[in-house]
Structure 1
C-alpha cells in the first residue's frame, strides 16, 4: 500500500508512505528540497525557508499522495532544526512575559464538540502542557506552535478546531511580538 517512511536513495529527501488521499507529492517534495537546501544538505535553488514558514505550510490533498501524519512529523523535526539555527538571534523572554504567556495557556477554555469534528482533547491538552514547559525556559518558538497538528474526533467529545487554531495563532503572534 505504501512505502517505508524514512529516507530514499537520495540521502537528503525523505521517503514518505503513500495514502489513498494525502498531501500532494510534488508540492511536498519541492518544499522539502527548499528546506534541505536551507539547512545546507542539498543545493538551494529557491529562497531559503524559515522555521515560521515551515510551521505554517499547507499542502493540497491529492489521490495517492503522501500520508499527512508522516509528513507533518518530519516537518516538526525540520522546524526544530531551523529554530536551533535561528535561536541565536532570539532573545529570552523576561520572567513577567513568560508568566503572562503561561497564564494565557492555563486559562484558555475551548468549546467542546460532540457530533461535529473536533480536535482530540488529550492531544491538545498534552501539547499545551509541553508549551508551558517551553515558555518556562523563556525561549518559546512560534513556528512550533503554528506547526502543531492534532488528531480529530467525531463521535466523542473534542475541542472546536476554530477555537484551538485561533488561540494557537494568537499565542504564536504574541511570541513573535515579544521576540
Structure 2
C-alpha cells in the first residue's frame, strides 16, 4: 500500500492535514502501531478547503487503505459460523469470473489463474496448502496492453478467499 504517495493539490480539495493524519494513522496501524479498523477509515470525512488534495485521488487511496486493513484484520469468530468445506471452496474458486481491465491496467490473467490453480491444488492435497496469509500477500504483474483482470474485482475476491481459508 502506498500511504506515502504524493497526492495532487487542486484549487478546492480535501484538507491536506486531515488526509495526511488519516494516512499516518493507517500506516502506523499496518506497522504494529495503534490498531485501526476498516470501519474507522470508512467513517472518516474530510473538510473541503482551498488548495486541498484532489478528492478522487484521495478516495482511491482510502479504498486501498480499507482493503489493506480488511486483509490484515482478523475475521471475528461468531457462534454458528459454518466451516468452509474444501469441495465447496474449490467449486467457488473455479466458478469465479473477473471482468477484463479494458483500457485500464489490470492484473496479468496468467498470474491470477496460476495462483488460483495453486490454491485449488492445495485444497485437493496434491500441492502444499495455501494459507489465508499466502492469499493476502499474493502479488501479480500488472499489464497495460494485453489480457488483464480488473484489479478491484480480484482484490475483493482475494479478501473473501482469505476469509474462507481461515474458516477451514
Shorter-normalised TM range: 0.3 to 0.5
